[in-house]
Amino acid sequence: MSSAPASHSRPAARQAGRPADYLAIARLDHSTKHILIVPGMVLAYLLRGVHADDVAQQVVLGLLSAVGIASANYVINEWLDRESDRHHPTKSQRSAVQRQLLGRWVLLEWFCWLALGIGSAYLASGTMLLVAVLFALQGLVYNVPPLRSKDKAYLDVISESVNNPLRLTIGWAMIDPTTVPPGSVILSYWLGGAFLMAAKRLSEYREIVASHGRGLLVRYRVSFAGYTDTSLTVSCFVYAMLSAFFLAVFLLKYRIEYLILMPLVVALFGQYLALSMQPGSAAQKPEKLFKERGLVLLVLLLGLAFAVSTFVNIPVLEPLTAQRFIRLP
C-alpha cells in the first residue's frame, strides 16, 4: 500500500494566488454553522425576555461578529495547515495548498476579518465583545504554535468544540446582553460540540486508514497518532452521554415538559454517529449536513417538540421531580 497518492504530492511550481483564492480560505461557505446561534436567541427570549434596545441591530452585529471571527480563524487555519493538508484526500485541493499565497496578504486578510468581528461585537454590547475575544483566542490556541491544541489528542476536540457555546452565547446576547446562558446548557452545548468533532474525526480515521493507511492520516494531523478507531468511538459515546446529562439538568430545572425532547435528542446522537460511519460521510463536512434528509427531519421534529412543550403544560410529568422515599424525622 502506498503511503500517499500521487495527487497529494507537492506541486512542482504552484501558481500565484488570485483574489478568489484568498477569499476562499475564509470559508464563507461554512457560515451555515452559525445556525447554532439560533437556540441561544430562543432560550434568551423564553427565559429572560427581550433586554436589548434594538434587537434587529443586535442580530445584524452579532452575525457580522460571528462570521468575521470564524473567517479570521479559518484563514489562519488554512495557512498554517497548508503543508499537512496536502496529505488529505480532499483538503489537498484547498487554495492554500494548490496556490502560492503570500504570508503578508494572508496576515492582512486575517486582521481585516478579525477587525470586522471584534468591531461589530464592540458596537453590540460588552457581553458580545467578551465572547468575540474568546472566539478569536480559541482560533489562536487551536492553530498557532507553540500551543496548537489541534495537534494533541482529545484536547483538539475539547478546544475546537468550545466554538459551540460561544455561538450559543452570541445568540443569547442578541436578545439579552445583560446575562449569559445557564451553565448547564453551556456545558451541554460544549459537550455536544465535542461529540460532533469526535464523530468527524472518527469518520476521517475510518475512511483514510482504509484507503491510504494510518501513516498518511498521521501526516495529515498529528493528533491522530493518539487515536484509534475504538478510542474515537468510545469518546463519541462519552461526549454524547455527558451532553445529554447536562441537557437533562437544564430541562428539569427550567421546565419539566421539556423532558419529552430527550428521546429525540438521543435519536439525533444515534443518527449522527451512524452517519459518521458511512463512507464519504457528511460528518467530515458539517457545513453540508443540511443535505442529510434523515438528520434534518429529526432536527425539525425536535424543534416541533420544543415548541409544543414550551406552550403546553403536561401535569402528569410533575411528580417526576418530587422525591418519594426519603422522609425527614
Helices 262-276, 229-254: axis angle to 10 degrees equals: 160
Dig out the grid coordinates for 8 from the structure: 497529494
Using the Cα atoms of residue 74, residue 79, residue 84 and residue 88 in order, give the sign of their dihedral.
positive
Encode pLDDT of 112-135 as tens digits: 999 999 999 999 999 999 999 999
Mean pLDDT of 236-246: 97
Query: Residue 319's pLDDT band (boundaries 50, 70, 90)?
Result: confident
Is residue 80 within 8 Å of 151, Cβ to Cβ? no
279 pLDDT higher than 90: no
Which among 222, 227, 224, 225 is positioned nearest to 83, based on CA atoms? Answer: 222
Dig out the grid coordinates for 281 from the structure: 460521510
One-letter amino acid for residue 200 of the chain: K
146: exposed, middle or buried (C-beta count within 10 Å: 0-12, 13-18, 19+)?
exposed
The phi and psi torsions of 25 (rounded to 5 degrees) equal -75, -10
Number of neighbouring beta carbons within 10 Å of residue 313:
11
Secondary structure of residue 244 in the 3-state scheme? helix
Query: Residue 5's pLDDT band (boundaries 50, 70, 90)?
Result: very low
Query: Residue 109's pLDDT band (boundaries 50, 70, 90)?
Result: very high
**Mean pLDDT of all residues belonging to the chain:** 91
1 pLDDT higher than 80: no
171 pLDDT higher than 60: yes
CA 320, CA 310: separation in Å to the nearest integer?
A: 18
pLDDT the model gives residue 3: 41
Helices 293-311, 262-276: axis angle to 10 degrees equals: 170
12 pLDDT higher than 80: no
pLDDT the model gives residue 7: 42
CA 217, CA 204: separation in Å to the nearest integer?
A: 8
Percent of the chain at pLDDT above 70?
95
pLDDT the model gives residue 227: 96
How far is it between the farthest Cα atoms of the chain? Answer: 84
